[in-house]
Structures are given as C-alpha cells and as structure tokens.
Amino acid sequence: MTATAYKADLRVRSRLIQLMAALEVAGVTPIPNRDLHAFAYLANVLSPLWEVEALEGSVLKDRNGPRSSALEHELDLSIGQGLIKIDSLRPDPENPARLDATYYLNGTAARPVLDEINSLPDEASVASFLNELAFAFAEILPGKRDDAAQQDAAWSNPSIASGRIIDFGEFVEQTRGNPTYNVAQEFQRFAPDGVRLNRAEKLLMYVRLLKRRAHG
Amino acid sequence: MINFPLIERLIVRDFGLYPGISNSKVLEVNLGSGPWLILGVNGLGKSTLLLLMRYLLAGPVKTRNAGFAGERDDLQAVNNKFFAVRVADGAQNASAEMEVRLGDAVLNVERNLSNLSIKRAIIRRPQGSTEITTEEDYRAELTSATGVAQFEDVVRIIDNLAFFLEARQPLIWDGAAQFEIFRALLTPNLSAELRRLEGEIVSADSTARNLSATLYKITQRRDKEAVKKETATDTRARIAASQGEIDALNREELRIVEEIENLETTRVDRRLQVKRGEKELDDATQNYEKLKFEVLRQAFAGVKPTEQYVFLKMLSDRICIACNQPAESAASEIQKRSDECRCVICGNPTEYSDNVETISDAMRIRAADAYGALDVKRQELSISNASYVASNNELFLLQQKLSQVRLQSEEKASLIRRLRRNLPTDENIALGREEERIAVLRREVVSFREEREKAEREIDELLEALKRATEHVRELVENAFNFKAAPFFAEQVRLVYSPRTAKIGQGGRSFEFPAFEVEMTSGATFGQFIRRTPEQVSLSQREYLDIIFRMTLLETLGNTQSSLVIDGPEGSLDAVFAGRAGDLFARYAKGSGSNILLACNIIEGAFVPNTLSDFPPEVRNSRVVNLIEQAAPTQALTDLRPLYLQKVRDILLREPDR
C-alpha cells in the first residue's frame, strides 16, 4: 500500500499545542506519551464544565487507557515541524512492543503560534480551562497519571465493556450523556449552605477525586 | 441467589409410550451429577420424555413470548392432553413422578398424564414437609423454593435456562428475554412491580394512541363536513386536501424515522470498527517503530531523540512528518544506508560499518513481519473508515429529508389554520362545537400520557436497581462465558455486556435494559464483529452460543446445583465439532454436583464418547437411558433392533477423540 500523508487537522494541532503549553506552565513536562493522552482525555470529558468544545466526543475503552489517534498524528506532525521536542526515546518498560517518548514544547517555535491561537476569544477560554486542569493534573504523582484517567467516571462506567466506545459527546449531548460532567456538577450538593462552587473549584475537586482513587 | 431446579429422579408409570424394561410398565431414571444421555432412534419419544419432565415441573402452562406487554396475564395455558393423545388409551392410568432439588428443599411431584393434573405433591424442607393438593399451592411452593417472587419467573427460568427443547425461545439472541430473566434472577423482589409498571406504561400508551387515532378521524370528518357545506369558495376543499397531504407526510416521517433508527445501529457498529481499527493500527505502528528503533539503535547513535523520532516515523509510515508528505524514496535511502551500515544522516561509512553482524537477521525478519502487519492494518482501517463515512453521509441525507418532511407538514398545518380563520362566522360556530369535542379528546390523550409518564418515572428507579445488580455480576458472567466458549469455537468469541435502549410503549421515554451480546471473529470481516441476530452466525454457532450462555447463567447466578436439559445437541454439528461439544458437556458440571441431560440420536463419532469421557467404557452404559430397551418400538426398531443395540454398544466403547 502506498503511503499517503496524514490528514492534517489544524483544530487538533492547535488544541495539542495548548495542551502542551498548559502542561509546560504547570511543570508537568517532559510528559510521557501515555500521560499526554490521559491529560487530553480528561480535557475532553471535563470540557463541558467550561463550556468548551471537546476535541473528541468519544474514545475506545482500552485496557491501556485512553488514546487518541487524531492527537497522535498531530503530535507527530508537530514534532516534525519543531513545535514539540522529544526529550527521551526508549523502549517502554511497561510494554515491550512500544516505544516510550517524553515530550516538551519547543517554546521558541511554539510561542508565536500559541499567541495567535490565544488571541481568539474562544481559544483564550480554552487556555484558561487547560491551565486549571494542568495544575490539578500536576498534583497527581507522575507514575499514577494514566491510572487517574482510568478512574474517571465516564471511563470506569461499568455498563461499557472494554473494547467498546465511550461516548461522552459525539452521538450524545455533551452534558446529559457525560458521567464525568455529571459527577463534577454533583459536588455542589455537598458544599456547605450558601457556598456556591465555581467551575474551577469543581474541576479541582474532581481531579483530586481521581488522584485519591489512583493513589489508592 | 436463586435455587435452580436439580432433577434427581423420574418415574413414568403405565404410559404406553414407555413400557419399560421387559414390559414392566415403569420407566425409572435416577440422575446423579454430571452428564446423562437419553439415546434412541427417531420416533421413540426422546423429545417427549424431556417435555414430560418440563410439564411435570411447571404444569400445563407457558409464558407468552418475551417483550413488553400490557396488563394481560403472562401465563398461557397449553394443551393438557398433549400426552394423552400420544397413546391409544388416552393415558387414563398413566402418571409420571419427578423428584427435584431446589436448594435445601426437595420437591416430589406426580401428575396424571391424561390431563397433567397434580396427583400427589410434597415438598420437604429442613423445617418439615408440606403436602400440596392444588395447582395454586404447588405454584406458590415452587416459587418460594426457587427464591423468586412470582410463578411466571419460575416458568421463565425453566423454559429459558433449564430446558433447551425443540420449541425453545432463544436467550442470547433476544434482548427482551434477557431482560425478563435478569429481572427474575437479579431483582426477584422487584420483578412483579417492574412487570406491573411495564403493563401500566404499555396500556396508558396504547390508550393514548388509540384516542389520538380517534381524534384524527374526528378531525378529518369535521374537515370533510366543512367541505360538503362549501358552495362558493374552495377554502374547505383546500383544507381537506392539505389535511390529506399532512397525513401522507406523517406516514413518510414515520418511515424515515424507522430508517434512521436502523441506520444509527449500523453507524454505531461502524464507528466501533473504526476506533478499533485505529487502535490496532496504532499498536502495529508502535510495534514496528519499536523494532525499527532496535534495528537502527546504532545507526542513530549521537542523533537527538527528536530527529531520531522523525527518521523513525519516516521509516515506519513512509511519511515525512516535517512536511507531511509521502517520503518513500527518502525512507528507502535511509533504510539502505542503515542496511549498509553507513551514517543514516549523511551516508558516509561509519566506524561500526565493518561489524555488519550487529543487526540480526531474526530482527530484520521480525521487522519485515511487523511492517506487513502494519500495512494490513492500514488497509483495514481505510475500508472501515470508508464504511463509516458512507453511513454518516447516508444518515445526514435521511436527517435532511426528515427535516424537510417535518417542515412541509408544519407549513400545511399552518395553512389549514389560516384557511379556517377565513371561513364564514356561522360555520365557524358549528365547527367550534366539533372543536370542543376534539378538545375533550385531546385532554384525555394528555391525561393518559401523564399516566404513562408517572409509571415511567417509577419504573426508572427500579430499572436502575436492576442495572446495578447486572453490572455487579457482569464480569463474572462475561469471564465464565468466555472461558467456556474458547475451547469450543474456532473463532475468537467474546461475550460483552451491552445494555440495550428501548421504549416500553410505542411512545414515551427510552430506558436502558441489561443485555449481553456476542462478538466473534469472521472469515468475511476483520476484527471482532458484533453478532446481534441469529442470522449472523451458522446454525451450530447459534445453538451453542445460546447453550453456553445458559450454562453460564446457571453456574454464575444460581445458589446451588442445577440441571440443564438439552434436546438434540448433536443435530447441527459436524464430525470435529461433535467431539468439541462432547468435551463441553463433559466439562460442564464437573465437580459441582449439577447434571446435564442430553437427548440425542444414536450417532457415530465422538459426541457420545467425549461427553462420557470421564467414565470408563464399562460404566458408560449406566449413564444412558436407552430408549431402544424401554420405549414402544417403531417399525424401524422392530426390524433392526439387534443392529441398533450393537451400535449403542460400539458407541459407548469407542475411545473419545483427543
């Protein structure tokens, strides 16, 4: 079969750069491939909390954790363009059939791109959401970050078997059919009388819940 | 937990079909644990004997076919002369007795075969015995000993789990039947209430729809009457014509909605195929990249990880990720430099170029294999993507069509409203009276819909409890099924918990109902393929998937030992699978105290020897109810008895296939 170029998706690439920038600010880089996908997944399921459009509305429930092919392609292209750099490349100790790479944002090349992206009003809101999420994500121990994503309410929904699709916003409504969003909203019920939780607090509480579950 | 029935003994007396050994007029079967066979030729009454056991236990009733029903009774009477008409004397003096264990209770029931009425029944429990005289009491005792809340659920357990007879209802292929079984087994205390609310929803919905139909007729009649009065203008004719058009548009809308629902299922399946394809391609790519990395480790010595990665991607995907364009020639050149132990960047000879042994041939072969696998996955994903895109496009067109039809219908309705305002006032008054009737009916429709919605809210909570209970046992059921299915099927088979969404009435809300479905590999498609209907598998696969599902539920959801009774398990099997089926039955119930009773023809091959493989040849005869010796002979048997008897002996002595 003759190779054809990847279908480039600027929407995905700009979100990827934003994801990497947020991780950079929170000090979570260089980030391993699995953790990057875990972070991107959490950003997707929690995006309705910020009324931000999710990059993808569904994911294949796989034993190895969440993974997005679209994001992986754009990651490759961003590396090729010098926007993202690889810090280390070695065989994955957890899976002998895979390579384990860690990534960081190439500030010099990515900064002008990022400035352009964040100058758009809706994308500025995305950036603030991702920053909140990245700081919460940074609290989880490095070896437990992909485990934390698998503790997520949408991911661990027992009515969805491994090998099937978790749909949190593709064929279902982003808010109604998304267990993650519903759980995050539930925190308000446990707040003391007169205290109104804002979305950043709900997000932090939710990620801390995942952290507690992942840390055991 | 539920106590499934464990059949321990059967005695048939004075029934012409089974004269017994030496015409003793008694056929007696004592069943211990493990596999048991009822052997016979066609017409000797193998199936009848199993049916007799079923009717002894449940009585002359069955449940209606699975599915949401209104407030009518789930139990239906069956012909109680079924056995009487099989013999010349009407089974006047014939009776059959069966002993069944249900947890710590032992039920002994004897029925007259002339009409299946209870002759004698007694239930023994550790705390004492109870004589049963009426069918009503018998049902109550059986229900209580089984551990369910209603007798209908006992009959479902008997027909959907314990007895796999000729006229069986499929379980694994029927989401509605699965719901009824899980409702009975996992939330026995809620089962009757769930059924009551289901009936209320269906009835209220049906009444509301009937009233809507009446409303529609009255509205049409009103419009026609208005047209008849028309003399001067064509206003009313236009109203009637528009109403007719709305009617046609409504029918079209229903058709499109149905088509969309069907297409949605296809689209969901294809999306899954794409996501799995992406995952498999990703795995294959990673695997190849890893091998490449190993192969090129030395060639990349001194190159920074980012650049290494760029080269790796070029070599594995044949694409330059810097410019995102195909890079076949560059990739070939790098590969060539690497193979010739030159620097992959500039092509100059390197220090290690003398040592060509550093990359093993085995590694190259592995890399070539991995690349081949990668290529296959690319092609598969490309096909899956095309199918998914086609479904999406088709769905988009249908949705557009639906919007158009709805818009047209809305426009027509609006036109009618405008035209009515133009009618003369006196006629408007007459029409106004008709409108009042229509308004009353509309209120009735609303009232029944509210009734349905109230029942829907109540059933929602109960269904949630059932869902949680099913999710609790989900993994247990899936693993047990997969463990049993793996040695039997040549294909990869997987049971997957996949709740189905359905409406209880034709209108109203959708609910989630617990259900399992099967995924199976196929020669015709790649990857695991969801089989939702029996038509998607072969006859033997259809039967054995259902049998294994029943075995699984009996083992995982029951409290104690149980019986599984199967009619004609050998019918759909070829020579190889006959042996595998025998192994399946030999393994089932091993060491658990349960038993399995199989009625089959006298067939050569591995089925019988493999089923009885745990028993030495000399005792296998004791595991067989040989109807050649105990049933009324057919003409074929009269003529060929010695031959058949010899065949039975040969089959029982034959070594199992390994």
Angle between helices B328-339 and B305-317 (to 10 degrees): 110
Domain contains B150: yes
Which tokens go with A76?
């490759």
Query: What's the pLDDT score for residue B356?
Result: 44
**Shortest Cα–Cα distance, B89 to chain A (Å):** 56
Query: What's the pLDDT score for residue A15?
Result: 95
Domain contains B58: yes
Banded pLDDT at A4 (limits 50, 70, 90): low
- Tens digit of each residue's pLDDT (9 = 90 or more) over B567-601: 999 988 888 899 999 999 999 978 788 999 999 99
Contact predicate B47/B631, CB 8 Å: no
Contact list in A for residue B287 (CB cut-off 8 A) is 97-98
Chain B residues 357-386 within an 8 A CB cutoff of chain A: 375, 378-379
Sign of the CA dihedral running B615, B618, B621, B622: negative
Query: What's the pLDDT score for residue B528?
Result: 67
**Shortest Cα–Cα distance, B378 to chain A (Å):** 8
B565 CB-side CA count, 13 A: 28
Which tokens go with A202?
């709900």
Look at strands B516-521 and B493-497 and give their pairing: antiparallel
DSSP 8-state code for residue B162:
I
Contact list in B for residue A4 (CB cut-off 8 A) is 319, 326
Contact list in A for residue B478 (CB cut-off 8 A) is 161
Judged by a CB distance cut-off of 8 A, whether residue B278 touches chain A is yes
Residue B387, burial from CB neighbour count under 10 angstroms (0-12, 13-18, 19+): middle
Nearest neighbour of B282 by CB, restricted to A69, A87, A89: A69
Domain contains B78: yes
> Above 70 in pLDDT, residue A2?
no
Contact predicate B213/B221, CB 8 Å: no
Selection from B436, B70, B19 nearest residue B222 by Cα: B436
Query: What's the pLDDT score for residue A172?
Result: 83
Question: Number of A:B CB contacts under 8 A?
Answer: 117
Measured in degrees and rounded to the nearest 5, phi and psi for residue B254 equal -60, -40
Sign of the CA dihedral running B423, B427, B433, B437: negative
Query: What's the pLDDT score for residue B354?
Result: 47
Residue range A41-68: mean pLDDT, rounded: 93
CB count within 10 Å of CB B476 equals: 13
Query: What's the pLDDT score for residue B330?
Result: 87
Give the chain B residue whose CA is nearest to the CA of A157.
Answer: B471
- Spans of chain B, pLDDT less than 70: 224-233, 298-299, 350-361, 423-432, 435, 522-528
Judged by a CB distance cut-off of 8 A, whether residue A10 touches chain B is no
Give the chain A residue whose CA is nearest to the CA of B320.
Answer: A80
**Shortest Cα–Cα distance, A22 to chain B (Å):** 21
Structural domain span for residue B594: 6-173+533-653
| Residue B76: strand, helix, or coil | strand
Nearest neighbour of A89 by CB, restricted to B282, B308, B474: B308
End-to-end Cα distance, chain B: 37
Across the interface, whether the CB atoms of B494 and A159 are under 8 A apart is answered no
Alpha helices by DSSP H, B191-234: 191-229
- Tens digit of each residue's pLDDT (9 = 90 or more) over B199-245: 999 999 888 888 888 888 887 777 766 666 655 467 777 887 888 88
Judged by a CB distance cut-off of 8 A, whether residue B221 touches chain A is no
DSSP 8-state code for residue A103:
E
State the best of B286, B312, B378 to mutate against chain A, taking most chain A CBs within 10 Å.
B286
- Please confirm whether the linkage preceding A30 is cis (ω < 30° from 0): yes
Across the interface, whether the CB atoms of B326 and A5 are under 8 A apart is answered yes
Which tokens go with A196?
């109104």
Q: Which helix (H) or strand (E) holds B333?
A: helix B328-339
Give the chain A residue whose CA is nearest to the CA of B310.
Answer: A80
| Residue B521: strand, helix, or coil | strand
Q: Pseudo-torsion of CA B211, B215, B216, B217, nearest 10°?
A: 100
- Tens digit of each residue's pLDDT (9 = 90 or more) over A77-120: 999 889 999 999 888 877 777 888 999 999 899 999 999 998 88
Across the interface, whether the CB atoms of B319 and A87 are under 8 A apart is answered no
Query: What's the pLDDT score for residue B232?
Result: 45
Nearest neighbour of B310 by CB, restricted to A80, A88, A164: A80
Chain A residues 157-186 within an 8 A CB cutoff of chain B: 158-159, 161, 163-165, 170-171
Report the C-alpha gap between B144 and B104 in whole angstroms. Answer: 12
Nearest neighbour of A3 by CB, restricted to B271, B276, B317: B317
Which tokens go with B269?
């399946």
Domain of residue B596, CATH code: 3.40.50.300
Contact list in A for residue B301 (CB cut-off 8 A) is none
Contact predicate B320/B314, CB 8 Å: yes
Report the C-alpha gap between B157 and B538 in whole angstroms. Answer: 26
Report the C-alpha gap between B293 and B108 in whole angstroms. Answer: 72
Domain contains B212: no
Residue range A54-61: mean pLDDT, rounded: 93
Which tokens go with B209?
């729809």
Across the interface, whether the CB atoms of A159 and B497 are under 8 A apart is answered yes
Give the chain B residue whose CA is nearest to the CA of A97.
Answer: B287
Which distant-in-sequence residues (6+ apart) come within 8 Å of B91 by Cβ?
B15, B16, B83, B84, B112, B113, B114
Across the interface, whether the CB atoms of B293 and A1 are under 8 A apart is answered no
Nearest neighbour of B282 by CB, restricted to A6, A72, A82: A72
Report the C-alpha gap between B607 and B605 in whole angstroms. Answer: 6
Across the interface, whether the CB atoms of A161 and B498 are under 8 A apart is answered yes
Domain contains B204: no
Across the interface, whether the CB atoms of A3 and B294 are under 8 A apart is answered no
Report the C-alpha gap between B322 and A141 in whole angstroms. Answer: 33
